[in-house]
Structure 1
Amino acid sequence: MKKRVGLLSLVIGLAILGACGKSGDTETVKEVLPLNVELTVAEQAEVGETVKMEALVTYGDENVEDADKVVYEVWEEGKKDDSVMIDSVNEKNGLYTAETSFDHDGLFHIQVHVDARQLHTMPVKEVTIGEGAEHHDDHAEHEHGRTEGFSLHFMKPENAVIEEETELVSHVQIDGQPLENANVRYEVWSDVTGEKHIWIDTEETVAGEYAAAYTFSEIGTYSVKIHVKNDDGLHEHEELTFEVK
């Protein structure tokens, strides 16, 4: 009789533990929803005209009113290295706005960088100002050769100092979604290093974010070319500069 009672108690105890384990597992599972950004910009405007930029940020069905960062980046075609960053105004209900204007004809790119819910996204739109850009066959060939929907943002180091580790971070997306499992490498060079090019491998820290740390030993202006490849045949690159003090 005692053996039967003991066995019954053991079975009940295991059942309770199993139920608790399942309940705990259920509570720790958290669904990861997509971070969506609807960027609205006029396709065409005149020189000197105010161009309004609007980004509606949503996470699932929720309007995100507390995004960690919403910043607009604006540059003229072929001059990404001279881009300008413009802070947004939180209009509530998930809407973040900013304004800009242009002092000459050309084709310009407007990209919004959004950090929220531990995710990052960065849709981009084009706006033609006045008569638009003059046609350059070599530049057009490069632009049209880019993979459709591909977007890359290199976070320029703002406080790079010699003899200290500098973090180099890029966000890569395709069709507005993080590009995962890519091979991303930084090719770095400068006048102070002569003809030597430094190759730095990255690690994917979160989906679509590729980071590496490097210690520079010389003060100067450095060029970095970000190379992006994956197993599907994608091969893109973008070149920028940054300062090391």
Structure 2
Amino acid sequence: MSVSFDFDGRVALVTGASGALGSAACEAFADAGATVCATDVVEPGDEDALLDPETVDFYQGDLTDESEVEAVVERVVDDHGGVDALANVAGTWKGGSPVEKTDVATFDLLFDVNLKTAFLASKHALPHLRERSGAIVSVSARSSLRGGEGDGPYRASKAGVRLLTETLAEENEGEVRANAVMPSVIDTPANREMMPDADHETWVDPADIAEVMLFLCSDAASVTSGAAVPVYGEA
């Protein structure tokens, strides 16, 4: 069955847009007719960037810095008149050490990139999303549902994204919908490099996750808010 969504006339702001999932989200929104405003600290010209700059309006910014987040949102609104959807994709993973051997810098990095960026982008986009009865979709993780060995701070930061999503849904009921997706292992070049011997066939394609994110921001999900949707694939 083929499913399509019409985002013509709508503005989508996607964070972490230069990465594998962020660029897939940009492509999904663009294919649905949205004006896509992509933001990342990594510019499209960087050798590690996967974003196609021809399909988006790019806004460079460090989303862990509130002043830069505020400036990016203001520029998007000035350029396009508002925001209809916010996709909080910016994130990273680090692990391999138990808590007592994890340095504070790693802890801070994970909470800054995974949780603080979602908090700041949501905070500054919300007034504009309310004007258009918009939607927020954020990226949590399957591993946020329980503790695990070696990557506790990552799991905790992603659990924070899930709880932030529930809070946004409660605080903005009837005005802005907020949902999250929970991927298992995403099939990205970085993950394949880190885990060359894993069964990559069971991993989830970023494009498939992006389609669920698109759905959650669409009119088809108009009665869905506060949800954390599994996107596990076969993993």
| TM-score bracket for this pair, using the shorter chain length | under 0.3
Which has the larger share of helix? Answer: 2
Please give the TM-score of this superposition, normalised by the length of structure 1: 0.26
TM-score using structure 2 length:
0.27
Larger radius of gyration: 1
Structure with greater proportional strand content: 1
